[in-house]
Structure 1
Amino acid sequence: MAVFPPPGEIHALQRALPSGGRVSPTGKWHVTLAFLGDVPSPEPVAAVLAAVRSPGPFTLRLAGGGRFGKAEWLGVEGDREQLTALHTHIRDDLAAAGYPLEDRPFHPHLTVSYHADGRLRKALSNYVGSPWPVTEFSLVLSHNGQYEKISSWPL
């Protein structure tokens, strides 16, 4: 489950990054709300997500960066209370339906690269994007390193 920045924000971020950096494909740039791992079929998960209580539309902005291990990421600012509420509603509903979830604190971020890179880290730490409206969240499947949006639901 994820929130995807709009194309204009993706392009602005691309322009702000140093050339020659090893970044992940922009189609993978998202803010993870919950991670399930392998599931036999996405349809039952989609049914749970279709009933998730919405906190309503909200606004986010990508800003500041950091590193988890070798991964370089951008932070998330804006209506974090509503983003956290959405994350909590999704987790609670999936857990109630019997899906095992990771038990980690929620630190919203967008991973830009899985390779440590000081130039990239500096660019990300100084980056401040434009606010963008979050009006939906999506169920995403990963196939051989590629992401596929299965369904999206309005907020």
Structure 2
Amino acid sequence: MSAPIPRPRPRLFLALWPDATVRAALREQALSWGWPDAARRYDEADWHLTLHFLGNLPFERLAGLRAGLAVDVEPFELVLDRAELWRRIAVLTCEQIPPALLRLHAALGQALQRLGLEPDARPYRPHLTLARSAVGAQLALEPPRIAWPVRGYALVRSTGDPRWRYDAVQQYPDPQCKPEPHLIR
């Protein structure tokens, strides 16, 4: 008798997920860049802003994570108004980080600690990645100004499947803050 095949451990993270209106503005911004042939541009269905990376965790932890990661969300507007190249990564970020985003990040960090997980100790640098291997990318002539109304966040699993990279495990509290099924499947 052979041993049971172990289930893979899902790779999890907490993120803000853009709605259709924000995604359209992001698409317009991405199309205005000059991309080198080697650039690996993210599909619009994959665009998100990571709050915390949890890592690869056992499936058995999911129920506890779903409940334990629920924190209050104060609605705010995130304005992506800076286009930058970080090493080989093309990102959109914000000149001013909204205090409510920092409070959400901190509350989720405390929730992770209560669950026995250690949040990243590095300073939080909110950004949305447009492409990797983007050396030589030409930023848009006009700086971005993408207003993103934030009302919630999602616990997301990386699928490892190229057809749909991410799957929302749980959304808090707004069901609009997750990958849309028609875009990820």
CA separation in 2, counterparts of 1:62 and 1:76? 5
CA separation in 2, counterparts of 1:125 and 1:87? 30
1:68 corresponds in structure 2 to 86
Greater per-residue helix proportion: 1
Q: Note the residue ranges of structure 2 that are not aligned, 5 or more in a row.
A: 1-13, 175-185
CA separation in 1, counterparts of 2:142 and 2:137? 10
Q: Structure 2 residue aligned with 1:154, among 173, 182, 185?
A: 173
Which aligned pairs between 1:58-137 and structure 2 lie closer than 5 A? 58-76=76-94, 80-120=98-138, 122-123=139-140, 126-129=143-146, 131-137=147-153
Q: Note the residue ranges of structure 1 that are not aligned, 5 or more in a row.
A: none
2:160 corresponds in structure 1 to 144
**Match of 2:55, SS?**
coil
The Cα of 1:86 is off from its aligned counterpart by 0.2
TM-score (norm 1): 0.85
Q: Is this contact kept in 1: 2:156–2:166, CA < 8 A?
A: yes
Q: Is this contact kept in 1: 2:152–2:172, CA < 8 A?
A: yes
> For each residue in 1:96-142, what CA deviation from the matched residue of structure 2 results, as whole angstroms up to 9, or x when unmatched?
2201322211011101111224344x12872222x232111100010
CA separation in 2, counterparts of 1:18 and 1:113? 13
Over the residues paired in the alignment, what is the CA RMSD in angstroms?
Answer: 2.3
**Match of 1:102, SS?**
coil
Q: Structure 1 residue aligned with 2:63, among 35, 43, 47?
A: 43
> Against the structure 1 CA distance between its residues 117 and 13, is the aligned structure 2 distance closer, same or farther, given a 3 Å change threshold?
farther
> Against the structure 1 CA distance between its residues 20 and 68, is the aligned structure 2 distance closer, same or farther, given a 3 Å change threshold?
closer
Q: May I ask how many residue pairs the two structures share in their alignment?
A: 151
Q: 1:3 aligned to 2:16?
A: yes
Q: Percent identity?
A: 31
Q: Is this contact kept in 1: 2:47–2:130, CA < 8 A?
A: yes
**Match of 2:54, SS?**
coil
> Against the structure 1 CA distance between its residues 125 and 154, is the aligned structure 2 distance closer, same or farther, given a 3 Å change threshold?
farther
Q: Is this contact kept in 1: 2:47–2:129, CA < 8 A?
A: yes
TM-score (norm 2): 0.73
- Opposite residue 24 of structure 1, the aligned amino acid is Y
Q: Could you tell which deviates more after superposition, 134-143 or 18-27?
A: 18-27
> Against the structure 1 CA distance between its residues 98 and 124, is the aligned structure 2 distance closer, same or farther, given a 3 Å change threshold?
farther
| Higher alpha-carbon Rg | 2
- Opposite residue 84 of structure 1, the aligned amino acid is L
CA separation in 1, counterparts of 2:142 and 2:124? 20
1:12 corresponds in structure 2 to 25
